[in-house]
Structure 1
Amino acid sequence: MGEAAPLVHTATTVAVMVLLILKAKLNPALALVLSAIYLGIVCGLGPEQTLETVHRGFGDLMAKVGLLIVLGVLLGTLLASFGAFERLMAVLLRRLGRRALPYAFAVLIGTFLQFIFTDVLLVVTAPLARALGGRIGRGGPARMAAALALGLEVGVALSVPGVGALALAGLLGVSLGHILLYGLPLASVTIVLTLLLFDVLVKHGFWNPERDESAAVPGEPARPSEESANTARDAAAAPDASAPQDASAPQDAAAPQDASAPQDAAAARDAAPARPLPLLLSPLLLALAMTATGAVAEVAGWRSPVLGFLGDPVVGLLAGLTCACWIARRQLPRGAVSELFGRGYRKTGQILVLRGVGGSLAAVVGAVGLGNLVEDHVSTSTWAPLALVWLIAALLHMAIGSVVTAAITAASVLVPVVPDLDVEPVLVALAAGAGSLFAIHATSNTFWLLQSLLGQTTRGALKTVTVTVSTASVIALGLIQTMSLVL
Structure 2
Amino acid sequence: MTGHAWLLLVTLVVAIGVLVLLINSRLRFHPFAALMLVSVGVALVAGMSTEQVAESLEEGAGGILGDVGITLAFGAMLGRLLANSGATERIARVIVDRAGTRSLPWYMAGAAFVIGIPMFFEIGLIVLLPLIFSVARRLQDSGQVKGSPYVYLATPTIAALCTLHGMVPPHPGPLIGVEGLHADLGMTILVGLICAVPTIVISGPVYGRWIAPRLAVHPDRELVAQFTGTATTGTGEATTGTGTATGGTGTATPGGEGRHGAGAGKPGGVSLGWALAAVLVPVVLMLLRTIAELALAESSPVRHVLVFVGEPVIAMFAGFLFALFALGYRSGQPAEKVRESLTDSIKSVAGILLIIAGGGAFNQVLKDTGIGKAIESAASGAHLNLLLLGWLIALVLSFSTGSATVGIVAATGILSPMAGTGGGLESSLLVVAIGAGSIGLNYVNHAGFWLVKESFGMTLGQATKSHTAIQTLVSVCGLLMALLLSVFV
The reply to whether TM is greater than 0.5 is yes
Unaligned runs of 5+ in 2: 232-237
State the shift of 1:378 in Å. Answer: 2.3
Alignment match, 1:89: 92
Q: Which of 186, 191, 195 is residue 195 of structure 2 equivalent to? A: 186
Distance in 2, matches of 1:214 and 1:224, equals: 15
Larger mean Cα displacement after TM superposition, 146-155 or 37-46 = 146-155
Distance in 1, matches of 2:275 and 2:255, equals: 22
Contact 1:131 1:243 in 2 (8 A): no
Distance in 1, matches of 2:46 and 2:253, equals: 37
Q: Which of 199, 215, 218 is residue 208 of structure 1 equivalent to? A: 215
1:109 aligns with 2:112: yes
Distance in 1, matches of 2:367 and 2:114, equals: 31
Aligned residue identity for 2:474: A
1:277 aligns with 2:272: yes
Give CA deviations for 1:383-434 in whole Å, capped at 9, x if unaligned: 6111111111111122111112112111211111221899811122111111
Q: Which of 5, 13, 30 is residue 15 of structure 2 equivalent to? A: 13
Secondary structure of 1:115's counterpart equals coil
Alpha-carbon spacing, 1:317–1:8, altered in 2? closer, same or farther (3 Å): same
Distance in 2, matches of 1:301 and 1:2, equals: 48
Contact 1:149 1:465 in 2 (8 A): yes
Contact 2:121 2:165 in 1 (8 A): yes
Alpha-carbon spacing, 1:399–1:83, altered in 2? closer, same or farther (3 Å): same
Number of matched residues? 467
Contact 2:116 2:160 in 1 (8 A): no
State the shift of 1:174 in Å. Answer: 1.4
Secondary structure of 2:440's counterpart equals coil
1:137 aligns with 2:136: no
Distance in 1, matches of 2:24 and 2:240, equals: 39
State the shift of 1:322 in Å. Answer: 1.7
Unaligned runs of 5+ in 1: 230-237
Aligned residue identity for 2:304: P
Alignment match, 1:399: 400
Alignment match, 2:473: 471
Secondary structure of 1:182's counterpart equals helix
Alignment match, 1:152: 161
Alignment match, 1:320: 319
Distance in 1, matches of 2:470 and 2:389, equals: 22
Alpha-carbon spacing, 1:454–1:298, altered in 2? closer, same or farther (3 Å): farther
Larger mean Cα displacement after TM superposition, 461-470 or 302-311 = 302-311
Larger mean Cα displacement after TM superposition, 313-322 or 272-281 = 272-281
Q: Which of 238, 255, 262 is residue 265 of structure 1 equivalent to? A: 262
Contact 2:153 2:208 in 1 (8 A): no
- What are the residue-to-residue correspondences of 1:218-367 with 2, within 5 Å? 222-224=226-228, 245-246=245-246, 249-250=248-249, 259-260=256-257, 262=259, 265-266=262-263, 274-300=269-295, 303=298, 304-326=303-325, 327-334=327-334, 335-367=336-368
Alpha-carbon spacing, 1:87–1:311, altered in 2? closer, same or farther (3 Å): same
Distance in 2, matches of 1:214 and 1:200, equals: 16
State the shift of 1:108 in Å. Answer: 4.4
Aligned residue identity for 1:129: I
Aligned residue identity for 2:195: L
State the shift of 1:329 in Å. Answer: 1.4
Alpha-carbon spacing, 1:278–1:27, altered in 2? closer, same or farther (3 Å): same
Aligned residue identity for 1:184: L
State the shift of 1:278 in Å. Answer: 1.7
Q: Which of 475, 483, 486 is residue 484 of structure 1 equivalent to? A: 486
Secondary structure of 2:173's counterpart equals helix
Distance in 2, matches of 1:256 and 1:86, equals: 13
RMSD value over aligned CA atoms?
3.3
Q: Which of 428, 433, 436 is residue 435 of structure 2 equivalent to? A: 433
Alpha-carbon spacing, 1:222–1:359, altered in 2? closer, same or farther (3 Å): farther
Identity of aligned residues (%): 26
Aligned residue identity for 1:69: L
Secondary structure of 2:451's counterpart equals helix
Alpha-carbon spacing, 1:411–1:263, altered in 2? closer, same or farther (3 Å): closer
Contact 1:361 1:409 in 2 (8 A): yes
State the shift of 1:77 in Å. Answer: 0.8
Alignment match, 2:34: 31
Contact 1:406 1:436 in 2 (8 A): yes
Give CA deviations for 1:172-218 in whole Å, capped at 9, x if unaligned: 11122121111122122211122254145337x5x231xxx256278
Distance in 1, matches of 2:197 and 2:112, equals: 10
State the shift of 1:445 in Å. Answer: 0.7
TM (norm. structure 1) is: 0.86
Distance in 2, matches of 1:94 and 1:152, equals: 20
Contact 1:371 1:415 in 2 (8 A): yes
Secondary structure of 1:246's counterpart equals strand
Distance in 1, matches of 2:208 and 2:256, equals: 31
Alignment match, 2:373: 372
Secondary structure of 1:152's counterpart equals helix
State the shift of 1:71 in Å. Answer: 1.2
Alpha-carbon spacing, 1:429–1:2, altered in 2? closer, same or farther (3 Å): same
Alpha-carbon spacing, 1:424–1:439, altered in 2? closer, same or farther (3 Å): same
Alpha-carbon spacing, 1:145–1:94, altered in 2? closer, same or farther (3 Å): closer
State the shift of 1:55 in Å. Answer: 1.1
Larger mean Cα displacement after TM superposition, 461-470 or 44-53 = 44-53
